[in-house]
Chain A
Amino acid sequence: MKKLILVLFAISASIVAKAQETFPVNGTANKNHTIYAFINAKIVVDADEVIENGTMVIKDGVISLVGTKINIPQGSVIVDLKGKTIYPGLIDAYSSYGMPETKKSQGGGYPQTESNTKGAYGWNQAIKPETDALKIFTKDSKSAEELRKLGFGAVLTFQKDGIVRGSGTIVTLGELRENELIVTDKAAALYSFDKGTSSQDYPSSLMGCMALLRQTYLDASWYKSDKTKKEINISLEAFNALQALPQIFETNDKLNVLRADKIGDEFKTNYIIKGSGNEYQRLDEIKASNCKFILPINFPLAYDVEDAYDANYVSLAELKHWEIAPANLSAFEKYFISFAITTSDLKDKKDFWKNLRKAISYGLSEKQALRSLTSTPAEMLNIGDKLGKLKSGMIANFIITSGNLFDEKTIIYENWIQGNNFKITDYNTIDVRGNYDFSYGTSINHQLKIEGDLEKLKATMITDTVKTPVNIIVSGYSISISFSTKDTTGSIRLSGNINSQPMKFNGKGQTSDGTWIDWNASYKDAFVSTAKKDTIKKTTAKYGQVIYPFTAFGKGDDRTEFEKIVADIKTRYDAVLIKHVTVWTNEAEGILKNQDVYITEGRIVRIADDISAPKLAFAKVIDGTGKHLTAGIIDEHSHIALSSVNEGTQASSAEVRMGDVINSEDINIYRQLSGGVTTSQLLHGSANPIGGQSAIIKLRWGKSPEEMKFEKADGFIKFALGENVKQSNWGDINTVRFPQSRMGVEQVYYDAFTRAKEYDAKQKAFGGLSEKAKANIAPIRRDLELEAVAEILNKKRFITCHSYVQSEINMLMHVGDSMGFKVNTFTHILEGYKVADKMKAHGAGASSFSDWWAYKMEVKDAIPYNAAVLTKMGVTTAINSDDAEMGRRLNQEAAKSIKYGGLTEEEALKLVTLNPAKLLHIDNRVGSIKVGKDADVVLWSDNPLSIYAKVEKTIIDGQVYFDNEEDAKLRVDIQKERARIIQKMLDEKKGGAPTQRPVMKRRQLFECDTMQEDYLEIAE
Chain B
Amino acid sequence: MRKPILFALLLITTITFAQKSVLIMNATAHIGNDSVIQNSIIGLKGGKIVLVADATTAKMDKAGYDEVIDATGKHVYPGIIAPNSTLGLTEIESVRATNDFRETGTTLPNVRSLIAYNTDSKIIPTVRSNGVLLAQITPRGGLVSGTSSVVVLDGWNWEDAAYKTDDGIHINWPTIQSRKFMDEDNIFPGPFEKNKDYIKQTELLKKLFADAKAYNETTQKEEANLRFEAMKGLFNGTQTLFIHSNTVKEMVEAINFTILNKISKVAIVGGKESWMITDLLKQNNISVVIARVHDLPTYPEDDIDLPYKLPYILHKAGILFCLNNEGDMEAMGARNLPFMAGTAAAYGLTKEQALKSITLNTAKILGIDKTTGSVEQGKDATIFISTGDALDMRSNNVERAFVKGNSIDLNDDQKALYEKYKTKYGIK
Give me the interface of A with B, judged by CB distance under 8 Å: 309-310, 312-313, 315-317, 551-553, 667-668, 670-671, 674, 723, 728-729, 833-834, 836-837, 851-857, 860-861, 863-865, 869, 872-873, 884-886, 889, 892, 895-896, 898-899, 901-902, 905, 943, 945-950, 967, 971, 974, 978, 997, 999-1005, 1011-1014, 1016
Contacts and interface: CB of A to CB of B under 8 A. Distances in A.
B418 interface: yes
Interface string B397-428: 10000000000000000110110011001011
B394 A895 contact: yes
B329 A884 contact: no
28 contacts: A309-B248, A310-B249, A313-B177, A315-B299, A316-B301, A317-B300, A552-B299, A552-B301, A670-B304, A833-B417, A852-B329, A855-B329, A865-B414, A865-B418, A869-B418, A892-B393, A898-B394, A899-B395, A899-B396, A946-B394, A947-B339, A947-B342, A947-B393, A1000-B177, A1000-B192, A1003-B300, A1013-B188, A1016-B185
A899 B183 contact: no
Contacts of A861: 417
B300 A315 contact: yes
B346 interface: yes
Given A855-B94, A947-B346, A873 B427 contact: yes
A856 B95 CA distance: 7
A857 B187 contact: no
Contacts of A865: 414-415, 417-418
- Main DSSP-derived SS at the A contact region: loop
A585 to B, nearest CB: 19
Nearest to B328: A855
Contacts of B188: 1011-1013
Contacts of B294: 885-886, 889
Interface stretch (B32-40, B330-338, B370-378): B330-338
A727 to B, nearest CB: 12
B295 A885 contact: yes
Interface in B212-266: 248-249
B93 A667 contact: no
Given A316-B301, A943-B394, A1014-B183, A836 B425 contact: yes
A854 B421 contact: no
B124 to A, nearest CB: 11
B249 A309 contact: yes
Contact of B394 (A671, A873, A945, A967): A945
A999 B421 contact: no
Contact of A855 (B93, B122, B422): B93
Interface in B298-350: 298-301, 303-305, 328-329, 331-332, 335-336, 339, 342-343, 345-346
B92 A860 contact: yes
B393 A899 contact: yes
B61 interface: no
Given A856-B94, A885-B296, A999 B123 contact: no
Given A551-B300, A885-B295, 10 more contacts: A674-B305, A852-B329, A853-B332, A869-B422, A872-B425, A905-B394, A947-B342, A978-B301, A1000-B177, A1002-B298
A671 B249 CA distance: 27
Contact of A863 (B93, B304, B414): B414
A978 B302 CA distance: 12
B187 A974 contact: no
Given A836-B425, A837-B425, A946-B394, A1014 B300 contact: no
Interface in B168-187: 177, 183, 185, 187
Contacts of B46: none
B300 A854 contact: no
A1014 B185 contact: yes
B391 interface: yes
B92 A856 contact: yes
Contacts of A971: 303
A833 B421 contact: yes
A125 to B, nearest CB: 15
B100 interface: no
Contacts of A974: 301
A722 B211 CA distance: 51
Nearest to A850: B393
A943 B342 CA distance: 14
Given A552-B300, A1012-B187, A947 B332 contact: no
Nearest to B343: A947
Contact of A947 (B392, B417, B418): B392
Nearest to A889: B294
A997 B298 CA distance: 19
B191 A947 contact: no
Given A971-B303, A978-B301, A854 B92 contact: yes
Nearest to A312: B299
Contacts of B422: 869
Contacts of B393: 892, 895-896, 898-899, 947
Contacts of B249: 309-310
B189 interface: yes
The 5 closest A-B pairs by CB, nearest first: A947-B342, A856-B94, A1000-B192, A667-B300, A865-B418
Contacts of B122: 854
A309 B342 CA distance: 31
A1004 B300 contact: no
B94 A857 contact: yes
A500 B151 CA distance: 98
Contacts of B395: 899
A707 B363 CA distance: 52
A1001 B192 contact: yes
B91 interface: yes
B301 A946 contact: no
A869 B425 contact: yes
Interface string B81-92: 000000000011
Contact of A856 (B93, B192, B276, B331): B93
A159 B235 CA distance: 65
Contacts of B331: 854
Given A869-B425, A892-B393, A1014-B183, A863 B346 contact: no
A885 B305 CA distance: 11
A869 B427 contact: yes
B346 A949 contact: yes
Contacts of B303: 971
Given A854-B93, A1011-B188, A999 B177 contact: yes
Contacts of B93: 854-856
Interface string B281-302: 0000000000000111111110
A420 B92 CA distance: 75
